[in-house]
Amino acid sequence: MGDKAARPGRPRDPRADAAILQAARDLMAEGGLSNLTVEGTAQRAGVAKTTVYRRYPTKLTLAVAAVAALISPEEPYGENLEDVVGNGLAQFTGDFASSDGQSAFLSVAAAASGDGVAHALFTSQVLGPIEEKLQRSLGLAGASASSFAFDVLMGTMIHRLVIRQLPLDDDFEGRFVELTRFVTDGDAP
């Protein structure tokens, strides 16, 4: 029989789950990790602090969940590599390189890097989905990316768009397409 073991006591309020995640996501989007506080999340979600801590034992785990929730669900689209890459860059920029510079992705990646549990969570809940999305995107153009290619493509975007905060212009996009072609084993001629 399923896992609806009907644990004793009052069941968790699913509305709280949603409200907390939404609040955390919003705070993160507004001002990065430093703008995300457990207290603030609880207040904005209309929930007690305990209720947050029951779900996320640590600020960092909450932050990882919030970043994961920041990944836009829309798939890149397009038929040739140019379009696919263009759409992918645009979505990455929109999700993680907000104009005010406060990058949720980067600060959480940094914080998680010093905490084994959080790093594992970050890898599975943030990096994993991003890699899958990348894979599906490239698939549209008949290419596929190795683990190394993932490092190259993600790293380049991060360094350019988040760390250096330089704009996403045509020149960069063009070179990025070439880079993608080089690093993936596409069957394009």
Q: Does 53 bind a copy of itself (CB under 8 A)?
A: no
Residue 69 contacts residue 21 (beta carbons within 8 Å): yes
Neighbours of 111 (CB within 10 A): 17
Q: Which of residues 72-101 bind DNA (CB under 7 A)?
A: none
Identity of the amino acid at 13: D
Q: Is residue 172 a contact residue for a copy of itself (CB under 8 A)?
A: yes
Taking each continuous run of H as one helix and of E as one strand, the counts in the chain are 10, 0
Q: Is 31 in the site for a copy of itself (CB under 8 A)?
A: yes
Among 16, 33, 121, 141, binds a copy of itself (CB under 8 A): 33
List the single partner that 113 binds among DNA, a copy of itself, none, CB under 5 to 8 Å by kind: a copy of itself
Residue of the chain from 25, 29, 32, 59 that contacts DNA (CB under 7 A): 59
Residues 6+ apart with CB under 8 A from 42: 20, 23, 48, 49, 51, 52
**Which of residues 22 and 51 has its CB atom nearest to DNA in the complex?**
51
> Contact at 8 Å (CB) between 67 and 94?
no
What is the distance between the alpha carbons of residues 47 and 16, in angstroms, rounded to a whole number? 7
Residue whose CB is less far from DNA, 36 or 134: 36
**157 part of the interface to a copy of itself, by CB under 8 A:** yes
Whose Cβ is closer to a copy of itself: residue 24's or residue 106's?
106
Residue pointed to by tokens 């990790």: 33
**What's the CA gap between 140 and 83, in Å, rounded?**
10
CA atoms within 13 Å, Cβ hemisphere of 160: 17
Among 7, 99, 148, 187, binds DNA (CB under 7 A): 7
Cβ nearer to a copy of itself, comparing 77 with 146? 146
Binding site for a copy of itself (CB under 8 A): 31-34, 100-103, 106-107, 109-111, 113-116, 119, 123, 127, 148, 150-152, 154-160, 162-165, 172, 175, 179, 182-183
